[in-house]
Structure 1
Amino acid sequence: MRLARRLAALFVTSGLLAGACSAPSAGPAAPSDGTFVIGLGSEFDTLSPVMGYAPDGGSLIYEGLMSRGTDLSLTPAVAAAPPTVSADGLTVSFTLRDGLRFHDGRPVTGADVEYTYEAVLDGANNSPIRGDYAAIEKVDAPDPRTVVFTLAHPYAPLAQRATLGIVPAGDPLTGDRPVGSGPYRFVSRTPGDKIVLEANRDYRTGPPALARLVLAFAEDDNVRATRMSAGEFDAAILPPKAAARFEGQPGVTVHKVPSADYRGIMFPLGRPVTGDRTVRRALGLAVDRQAMVDVVLAGAGAPAFGPVSPDTTWHNPAVTGAPAGDPEAARRLLQEGGWIPGEDGVRVKDGVRAAFTLMYPAGDSLRKELALAVASDARAIGVDVRLAGLDWDAIEPRMSTDALIMGYGSPYDPDYVNYELFHSSYARRGFFNPGGYDDPEVDRLLETGRRSGDPAVRRQAYLDFQKIVHDEEVWTYLVFLKHVYVVRGAYEGVRPGVDAHEHATGGLFRDIHTWKPAA
């Protein structure tokens, strides 16, 4: 599966389900043989951490130097303790746990950590996450239990980035037969169907109670909900409306997990209509975000006005707006900007109609409903938004010319995602900054936030960054989602946290190795 599909939302709305599914039954109880089947909406591009698999610690196969708790706090994993940082912030040292082994019995050493990070940084490997580790100048393993990172400049998020899974030195980077030190070991993979994992009996905190995991892929939202209803899955990621049908079922729990995962309109900025700031700002004023939350998300979310969640300490409170929209203000803005209603009601300026295409992934009904809502609100102010439901292969080459309902978002350090989405050096590099945004001041602020070791300087840089992209309406942000999980059976150790955009086996399932069937 390509990067585009990893970015696809894992949600569905009742429109696809209406008339397609019979009333759900409770289905079987918790599995008695230790096998637990999870229904996921998208497959993984790769199972290699070096090539971008679960770098934020959501993997069950690998562990990084650090791991992340449900409250987003960092705790040592492969490392024995948090890192030691030099006074100038340019040297970061980790001491590894003693006696830790990979699934095949090889000891985990500093050489493995060095190999993993150097493989990411090696341009010949073309790792998609290489830019996230650009501050690292050199990695050394002076002895089996020590790793030293030498940085080109202070980089406050390095400990956050240290959740990257560690692979054995010399192993191929394909991820075809992944070997890690995490709570589950790889058994098999059937492309397009499933991945089978089994408990690591030698895991450092003890073997998982769920002895076997099956990660079953069902990209079609309707199919995934139907299979959950039929009892084929023990858990599934579902959209709010589809999950509502499981509410109150005996032996079934619906978890609605807060996230920093947003959906918004990515604009191609080099086009006559979407490149006009007045049109973008008018659209941002016109959309009824609260209706999207209430209807499309069935209440499982919140209005979004920028790329940083209000639930994080990095959020700029000045980045806000009217949740229900202000179409009258939008009309005035367009009129003042020279966009005059034409005979068909669509505004025109200098012979150009206020019309553009808004794409969405055809299999993602939540994004489809958001696109429909945007088109309706735009029509009310004289902007013609034409919708196109396409597969990701068709979407990718059109992102520089057509707008897209897109999703990203991270609750971690604001350097995450934002640098790649808004720095000009990433302009039109695939799904990073596909609209071609280029603002020297934003570049400066992102560089300051990335390079400064002063927390106050970093905070101000990200506050200012948020204000600029909000005022420029680089995107029109629509909603922050709650990720919704349905679990059949009663388990101890289920700890919802705060999700990022990609959840897959992260999110609620991040700690599934600690789950135990309730007595």
Structure 2
Amino acid sequence: MRLARRLAALSVTFGLLTAACSAPTTGAPVPDDAFVIGLGSEFDTLNPVMGYSPDGGSLIYEGLMSREPDLTMRPALAAAAPVTSADGKTVTFTLREGVRFHDGRPVTAADVAYTYEALLDEANNSPIRGDYSAIEGVAAPDAGTVVFTLKHPYAPLVQRTTLGIVPQGSPLTGEPPVGAGPYRFVSRTPGDKVVLEGNKDYWAGAPAITRLVLAFAEDDNVRATRMSAGEFDAAILPPKAAAQFDGRRDVTVHRVPSADYRGIMFPLEQPVTGDRTIRRALGLAIDRGAMVDTILAGAGTPAFGPVSPDTAWHNPEVTGTPAGDPEAARRLLEDGGWKAGGDGIRVRDGRRAEFTLMYPAGDTLRKELALAVASDARKIGIDVEPAGLDWDAIEPRMSEDALIMGWGSPYDPDYVNYELFHSGYAGRGFFNPGRYDNPEVDRLLKTGREAGDPAVRRKAYLDFQKIVRDDEVWTYLVFLKHVYVIRGNHTGIRPGVDAHEHATGGLFRDIHTWKPAA
């Protein structure tokens, strides 16, 4: 999914993307010494205020804090972890001294305040503004001190301060983007690539990889072909496409755990997909174990809810049978009045149990998942018609047709879930596209967002998971392992737990620390 649209639909995280072109490299030439990364989507914006990579990994920008691979937070532009007041409503950061933007200007508290104020300004219509709604104001009492005043205690605030900082007065559109990260912007060829160069004055040390090209190729097979042909030095690939690189001496394949799931988003105002019996029966019938074994080539695990079992926030009651239970699904449909018709497809009140399941046409993994869903659905009498479309065709149909979607974050459970399931976001682009509306879920999400007591927050999110599972708002299919193919051997590569968005996060978040192995 396009990152821009996901952030227009997601509170999270990760840098905005649009449909990308897979044409041969065009525009400005690629430097001979450049390290070229093949990405599946193009950045729709390079401005953090407008949603570019707010959870880190942008490479151009630096936030107050950054994330280690184990998800712990460490200071970046901040000199140390912040100080929080006893009531949880005031959070104070002290800035690291001597840090400068790429244009030579010093990074000051006024720049930090400007960045957050621009993001919160309704007139700017930032797609991630809702993620920062707990902030009442940001003050810069002196050049080295930043004070956040909150409307209520907000436990994830420190995690949100990975947002990249821009110089005071920076326009929200246009280029060149100026940050304080390990790489400077050089050029951008729309539909093709972004060229970066190492920031020799980066506060944590100049990158060993001095030239970086982020090349865009939406089609999985094209990306794999260009990687094999030597056009890319690294690429993110689906498991099957990456299998050809296993055992090759010139590349290293990394399979990284993630909280990134794929599932079926149901339009809940439609007569068939709006019937919980249909949704729950489908969830029972699907053989997720087979999906992991065949479609993911083992690089993943079955999914039954929106919170990964690899995180501390997961509710262990939200689980199921990996192989599915088609017989239980048939009984559920029978009890719900869906009777088998002459062609084997179930009917109730003259309406067939049928719906369209969309997926992005260039995404081979989602295509195979859609086909597997259709096969399992037919076995219980539900006719699912897969449809491969581009995102421009998919987006206006999400209130009418189901969609293989991807989301997921290993960070705080406020991430992603608030926008995906709160009724206040219903129908806002890729936010809550199925138009789910459950007052108790709204209450739990609000409690989880605003409570200062960790135990209260935990209970809210455990209960939230149970309700969305019982309502079968989505049918969750698999959690992925992200597969990175990297030419040669490098030190400094630190796998962790990935979020849904790749962008230049994941393994690439630390590419400024990579060095060729001796």
Instruction: Using structure 1 for the length normalisation, give the TM-score.
Output: 0.94
Which residue of structure 2 lines up, in the alignment, with residue 88 of structure 1? 87
Equivalent residues in 2 for 1:22-421, closer than 5 Å: 34-421=33-420
Equivalent residues in 2 for 1:421-500, closer than 5 Å: 421-500=420-499
* Helix, strand or coil at the partner of 2:88: coil
Describe the superposition over 1:403-428 as per-residue Cα deviations: whole angstroms up to 9, x where unpaired: 00000000000000000000000001
Which residue of structure 2 lines up, in the alignment, with residue 18 of structure 1? none
Describe the superposition over 1:210-237 as per-residue Cα deviations: whole angstroms up to 9, x where unpaired: 0100111111111111110011111111
Q: 1:486: how far off?
A: 0.3
Aligned partners of 2:418, 2:304: CA distance in 1, in Å? Answer: 18
Q: Quick check: 1:116–1:166 contact (8 Å CA) kept in 2?
A: yes
Q: Quick check: 2:220–2:241 contact (8 Å CA) kept in 1?
A: no
Cα distance 1:94–1:175, how it changes in 2: closer, same or farther (>3 A)? Answer: farther
Aligned partners of 1:417, 1:132: CA distance in 2, in Å? Answer: 9
Aligned partners of 2:390, 2:486: CA distance in 1, in Å? Answer: 29
Which residue of structure 2 lines up, in the alignment, with residue 3 of structure 1? 4
Q: 1:4: how far off?
A: 3.8
Q: 1:3: how far off?
A: 2.5
Describe the superposition over 1:335-361 as per-residue Cα deviations: whole angstroms up to 9, x where unpaired: 001000011111111111111111111
Aligned partners of 1:491, 1:393: CA distance in 2, in Å? Answer: 39
Aligned partners of 2:472, 2:131: CA distance in 1, in Å? Answer: 25
Q: Quick check: 1:196–1:214 contact (8 Å CA) kept in 2?
A: yes
Q: 1:175: how far off?
A: 4.9
Return the letter of the residue paired with 2:4: L
Name which of structure 1's ranges 465-474 and 34-43 shifts more when overlaid on structure 2: 34-43
Q: Quick check: 1:103–1:185 contact (8 Å CA) kept in 2?
A: yes
* Helix, strand or coil at the partner of 1:189: strand
Describe the superposition over 1:159-190 as per-residue Cα deviations: whole angstroms up to 9, x where unpaired: 00000000000011115211000000000000
Q: 1:35: how far off?
A: 1.8
* Helix, strand or coil at the partner of 1:245: helix
Q: Quick check: 2:6–2:430 contact (8 Å CA) kept in 1?
A: no
Q: Quick check: 1:62–1:166 contact (8 Å CA) kept in 2?
A: yes
Q: 1:5: how far off?
A: 7.6
Structure 1 unaligned residues grouped into runs of 5+ = 10-30
Alignment RMSD, CA only? 1.5
Q: Quick check: 1:34–1:209 contact (8 Å CA) kept in 2?
A: no
| Count of residue pairs the alignment pairs up | 498
Q: 1:250: how far off?
A: 1.0
Aligned partners of 1:383, 1:250: CA distance in 2, in Å? Answer: 47
Return the letter of the residue paired with 1:365: T
Q: 1:88: how far off?
A: 0.4
Of all paired residues, the percent bearing the same amino acid is: 80
Q: Quick check: 1:5–1:392 contact (8 Å CA) kept in 2?
A: no
Which residue of structure 2 lines up, in the alignment, with residue 19 of structure 1? none
Q: Quick check: 2:53–2:503 contact (8 Å CA) kept in 1?
A: no
Return the letter of the residue paired with 2:217: A
Cα distance 1:328–1:241, how it changes in 2: closer, same or farther (>3 A)? Answer: same
Return the letter of the residue paired with 1:3: A
Describe the superposition over 1:17-60 as per-residue Cα deviations: whole angstroms up to 9, x where unpaired: xxxxxxxxxxxxxx996421111111011000000000001210
Aligned partners of 1:227, 1:65: CA distance in 2, in Å? Answer: 37
Instruction: Using structure 2 for the length normalisation, give the TM-score.
Output: 0.94
* Helix, strand or coil at the partner of 1:149: strand
Aligned partners of 2:501, 2:337: CA distance in 1, in Å? Answer: 41
Q: 1:284: how far off?
A: 0.3
Aligned partners of 1:248, 1:355: CA distance in 2, in Å? Answer: 44
Q: Quick check: 1:4–1:392 contact (8 Å CA) kept in 2?
A: no
Return the letter of the residue paired with 1:252: V
Aligned partners of 2:173, 2:294: CA distance in 1, in Å? Answer: 42
Return the letter of the residue paired with 1:265: I
Return the letter of the residue paired with 1:35: A
Return the letter of the residue paired with 2:295: V
